[in-house]
Protein backbone atom coordinates (compact mmCIF):
# COMPACT_ATOMS: atom_id res chain seq x y z
CA UNK A 1 0.00 0.00 0.00
CA UNK A 2 1.35 3.33 -1.09
CA UNK A 3 1.87 6.01 1.44
CA UNK A 4 0.25 9.38 0.79
CA UNK A 5 2.66 12.12 -0.11
CA UNK A 6 3.07 14.77 2.47
CA UNK A 7 0.85 17.83 1.83
CA UNK A 8 3.79 20.18 1.39
CA UNK A 9 5.15 18.06 -1.48
CA UNK A 10 1.78 18.21 -3.28
CA UNK A 11 1.81 22.00 -3.03
CA UNK A 12 5.30 22.17 -4.51
CA UNK A 13 4.29 20.03 -7.48
CA UNK A 14 1.24 22.18 -8.27
CA UNK A 15 3.16 25.46 -8.19
CA UNK A 16 5.86 24.05 -10.48
CA UNK A 17 3.37 23.01 -13.24
CA UNK A 18 3.46 25.29 -16.43
CA UNK A 19 0.32 27.55 -16.97
CA UNK A 20 -2.25 26.48 -19.55
CA UNK A 21 -2.55 28.53 -22.73
CA UNK A 22 -4.91 31.43 -22.30
CA UNK A 23 -8.19 31.09 -24.15
CA UNK A 24 -8.88 34.07 -26.34
CA UNK A 25 -12.09 35.83 -25.46
CA UNK A 26 -12.52 37.54 -28.78
CA UNK A 27 -13.55 34.71 -31.06
CA UNK A 28 -10.14 33.03 -31.21
CA UNK A 29 -7.95 36.04 -31.91
CA UNK A 30 -5.86 37.40 -29.08
CA UNK A 31 -5.15 41.10 -28.75
CA UNK A 32 -1.83 42.20 -30.17
CA UNK A 33 -1.82 39.76 -33.12
CA UNK A 34 -2.35 42.55 -35.66
CA UNK A 35 -5.65 41.07 -36.87
CA UNK A 36 -7.70 44.02 -38.20
CA UNK A 37 -10.96 42.29 -37.25
CA UNK A 38 -10.33 42.74 -33.56
CA UNK A 39 -13.73 43.06 -31.91
CA UNK A 40 -15.01 46.50 -30.96
CA UNK A 41 -13.89 48.38 -34.05
CA UNK A 42 -16.49 47.21 -36.54
CA UNK A 43 -13.96 45.23 -38.57
CA UNK A 44 -11.58 48.18 -38.99
CA UNK A 45 -8.23 48.39 -37.29
CA UNK A 46 -8.17 50.96 -34.49
CA UNK A 47 -5.12 52.57 -36.11
CA UNK A 48 -6.81 53.01 -39.51
CA UNK A 49 -8.50 56.41 -40.13
CA UNK A 50 -12.31 56.34 -40.32
CA UNK A 51 -13.71 56.21 -43.86
CA UNK A 52 -14.59 59.57 -45.30
CA UNK A 53 -18.28 60.21 -45.98
CA UNK A 54 -19.17 60.38 -49.66
CA UNK A 55 -19.88 63.87 -50.91
CA UNK A 56 -23.63 64.57 -51.23
CA UNK A 57 -24.89 64.66 -54.80
CA UNK A 58 -25.42 68.14 -56.23
CA UNK A 59 -28.82 69.50 -55.39
CA UNK A 60 -31.30 69.44 -58.23
CA UNK A 61 -33.71 71.86 -56.53
CA UNK A 62 -34.32 74.96 -58.57
CA UNK A 63 -34.80 78.38 -56.93
CA UNK A 64 -38.41 79.42 -56.58
CA UNK A 65 -39.53 81.56 -59.51
CA UNK A 66 -40.45 85.16 -58.73
CA UNK A 67 -44.16 85.89 -58.38
CA UNK A 68 -45.79 86.80 -61.67
CA UNK A 69 -46.23 90.47 -62.39
CA UNK A 70 -49.66 91.79 -61.54
CA UNK A 71 -51.53 93.35 -64.44
CA UNK A 72 -53.32 96.66 -64.14
CA UNK A 73 -57.04 97.18 -64.25
CA UNK A 74 -57.85 99.30 -67.30
CA UNK A 75 -60.37 102.13 -67.10
CA UNK A 76 -62.39 103.38 -70.05
CA UNK A 77 -64.83 106.08 -69.00
CA UNK A 78 -66.67 104.70 -65.98
CA UNK A 79 -66.06 101.04 -66.75
CA UNK A 80 -62.98 99.13 -65.58
CA UNK A 81 -61.71 95.87 -67.05
CA UNK A 82 -59.53 93.36 -65.23
CA UNK A 83 -56.72 91.58 -67.09
CA UNK A 84 -57.81 88.30 -68.69
CA UNK A 85 -55.36 86.34 -66.50
CA UNK A 86 -56.45 88.01 -63.25
CA UNK A 87 -57.80 85.69 -60.53
CA UNK A 88 -61.54 85.12 -60.56
CA UNK A 89 -62.01 87.08 -57.31
CA UNK A 90 -60.28 90.11 -58.83
CA UNK A 91 -62.51 90.01 -61.91
CA UNK A 92 -65.58 89.78 -59.68
CA UNK A 93 -64.36 92.72 -57.57
CA UNK A 94 -63.96 94.88 -60.68
CA UNK A 95 -67.41 93.88 -61.94
CA UNK A 96 -68.95 94.72 -58.54
CA UNK A 97 -67.38 98.16 -58.45
CA UNK A 98 -68.56 98.90 -61.98
CA UNK A 99 -72.11 98.58 -60.62
CA UNK A 100 -71.47 101.37 -58.08
CA UNK A 101 -70.26 104.03 -60.51
CA UNK A 102 -73.46 106.05 -60.47
CA UNK A 103 -74.41 105.53 -56.83
CA UNK A 104 -74.64 108.49 -54.46
CA UNK A 105 -72.73 108.99 -51.25
CA UNK A 106 -74.65 108.63 -47.98
CA UNK A 107 -73.16 108.20 -44.53
CA UNK A 108 -74.03 104.69 -43.34
CA UNK A 109 -75.03 103.61 -46.83
CA UNK A 110 -74.36 99.98 -47.67
CA UNK A 111 -74.14 98.84 -44.05
CA UNK A 112 -77.69 97.80 -43.30
CA UNK A 113 -77.63 95.76 -46.49
CA UNK A 114 -75.04 95.15 -49.19
CA UNK A 115 -77.62 96.36 -51.71
CA UNK A 116 -78.46 100.01 -51.20
CA UNK A 117 -79.23 103.17 -53.15
CA UNK A 118 -76.19 105.01 -51.78
CA UNK A 119 -72.92 104.05 -50.07
CA UNK A 120 -70.36 105.53 -47.77
CA UNK A 121 -66.64 104.73 -48.03
CA UNK A 122 -66.53 101.48 -46.06
CA UNK A 123 -69.95 100.44 -47.34
CA UNK A 124 -68.62 100.60 -50.90
CA UNK A 125 -65.48 98.62 -49.99
CA UNK A 126 -67.65 96.03 -48.24
CA UNK A 127 -69.89 95.72 -51.30
CA UNK A 128 -66.96 95.10 -53.64
CA UNK A 129 -65.33 92.53 -51.37
CA UNK A 130 -68.66 90.79 -50.93
CA UNK A 131 -69.16 90.71 -54.69
CA UNK A 132 -65.74 89.08 -55.00
CA UNK A 133 -66.71 86.41 -52.46
CA UNK A 134 -64.19 87.69 -49.91
CA UNK A 135 -66.48 89.21 -47.25
CA UNK A 136 -69.70 87.96 -45.67
CA UNK A 137 -70.65 91.02 -43.59
CA UNK A 138 -70.18 94.76 -43.82
CA UNK A 139 -67.39 96.53 -41.96
CA UNK A 140 -66.77 100.15 -41.08
CA UNK A 141 -63.40 101.80 -41.66
CA UNK A 142 -62.17 100.90 -38.17
CA UNK A 143 -63.04 97.26 -38.77
CA UNK A 144 -60.98 97.24 -41.97
CA UNK A 145 -57.91 98.29 -39.99
CA UNK A 146 -57.61 94.74 -38.68
CA UNK A 147 -59.29 92.79 -41.46
CA UNK A 148 -57.42 90.30 -43.66
CA UNK A 149 -53.63 90.34 -43.57
CA UNK A 150 -51.22 93.17 -42.89
CA UNK A 151 -49.65 95.15 -45.72
CA UNK A 152 -50.36 95.64 -49.38
CA UNK A 153 -51.68 92.79 -51.47
CA UNK A 154 -50.61 91.68 -54.93
CA UNK A 155 -54.02 92.49 -56.40
CA UNK A 156 -56.23 94.09 -53.74
CA UNK A 157 -55.29 96.51 -50.97
CA UNK A 158 -57.61 98.24 -48.49
CA UNK A 159 -56.42 101.44 -46.83
CA UNK A 160 -58.24 102.35 -43.63
CA UNK A 161 -58.15 104.58 -40.60
CA UNK A 162 -60.81 105.49 -38.05
CA UNK A 163 -62.60 107.92 -40.36
CA UNK A 164 -62.12 106.70 -43.94
CA UNK A 165 -61.47 103.63 -46.10
CA UNK A 166 -60.74 103.09 -49.77
CA UNK A 167 -59.27 100.29 -51.85
CA UNK A 168 -56.94 99.72 -54.78
CA UNK A 169 -57.68 96.87 -57.20
CA UNK A 170 -55.04 96.07 -59.79
CA UNK A 171 -53.58 99.56 -59.48
CA UNK A 172 -56.93 101.38 -59.79
CA UNK A 173 -58.37 103.19 -56.77
CA UNK A 174 -61.97 102.93 -55.60
CA UNK A 175 -62.82 105.86 -53.36
CA UNK A 176 -65.86 107.89 -52.33
CA UNK A 177 -63.84 111.07 -51.72
CA UNK A 178 -63.35 113.31 -54.72
CA UNK A 179 -65.51 114.96 -57.32
CA UNK A 180 -68.13 113.81 -57.97
CA UNK A 181 -68.69 112.26 -54.55
CA UNK A 182 -69.77 108.67 -54.21
CA UNK A 183 -68.05 105.37 -54.99
CA UNK A 184 -66.04 105.91 -58.16
CA UNK A 185 -62.94 104.62 -59.87
CA UNK A 186 -60.30 107.29 -59.31
CA UNK A 187 -57.39 107.06 -61.77
CA UNK A 188 -55.26 109.55 -59.87
CA UNK A 189 -53.30 108.26 -56.86
CA UNK A 190 -53.72 109.74 -53.40
CA UNK A 191 -51.58 109.82 -50.28
CA UNK A 192 -51.81 106.80 -47.99
CA UNK A 193 -50.19 108.57 -45.04
CA UNK A 194 -52.13 107.85 -41.85
CA UNK A 195 -53.80 104.75 -43.29
CA UNK A 196 -53.32 101.09 -42.41
CA UNK A 197 -52.81 98.82 -45.41
CA UNK A 198 -54.58 95.43 -45.37
CA UNK A 199 -55.31 92.85 -48.01
CA UNK A 200 -57.43 89.71 -48.41
CA UNK A 201 -55.57 86.44 -47.92
CA UNK A 202 -54.04 85.28 -51.18
CA UNK A 203 -54.61 88.53 -53.04
Residue 202 CB neighbours (<10 A): 13
Is residue 146's pLDDT more than 80?
A: yes
- CA atoms of 101 and 178, how far apart (whole Å): 13
* Distance in angstroms (rounded) separating the CA atoms of residues 95 and 79: 9
Render pLDDT for 89-137 as a digit per residue (tens, 0 to 9): 999 999 999 999 999 999 999 999 999 999 999 999 999 999 999 999 9
pLDDT at 78: 87
Above 80 in pLDDT, residue 175? yes
Separation between Cα atoms, residue 56 and residue 197, nearest integer Å: 45
Nearest to 143 by CA among 120, 160, 129: 160
Task: For residues 169 and 93, give the distance between their C-alpha atoms in angstroms, rounded to a whole number.
Answer: 8
| Residue 42 confidence class, pLDDT cut points 50, 70, 90 | very low
Q: What is the pLDDT of residue 30?
A: 37
Name the more confident of 59 and 199.
Answer: 199
Question: Packing angle between helix 121-131 and helix 88-98, nearest 10 degrees?
Answer: 140
The pTM of the full predicted model, rounded to 2 decimals, is: 0.65
Write the DSSP symbol of residue 26. S
Residue 83 has pLDDT above 60, yes or no: yes
| Residue 37 pLDDT exceeds 60 | no
Residue 71: band (very low, low, confident or very high) from pLDDT cuts 50, 70, 90: low
pLDDT > 70: percent of the chain: 65
Question: What is the average pLDDT value for the chain, to the nearest integer?
Answer: 77
pLDDT of residue 52: 53
Amino acid sequence: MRKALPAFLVSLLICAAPPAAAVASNGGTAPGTGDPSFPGTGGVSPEAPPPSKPAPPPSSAQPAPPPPAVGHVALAGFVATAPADAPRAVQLAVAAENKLQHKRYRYGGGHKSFHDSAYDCSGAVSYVLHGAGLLDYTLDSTGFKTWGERGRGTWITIYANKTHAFMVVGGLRLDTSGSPSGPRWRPMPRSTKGFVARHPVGF
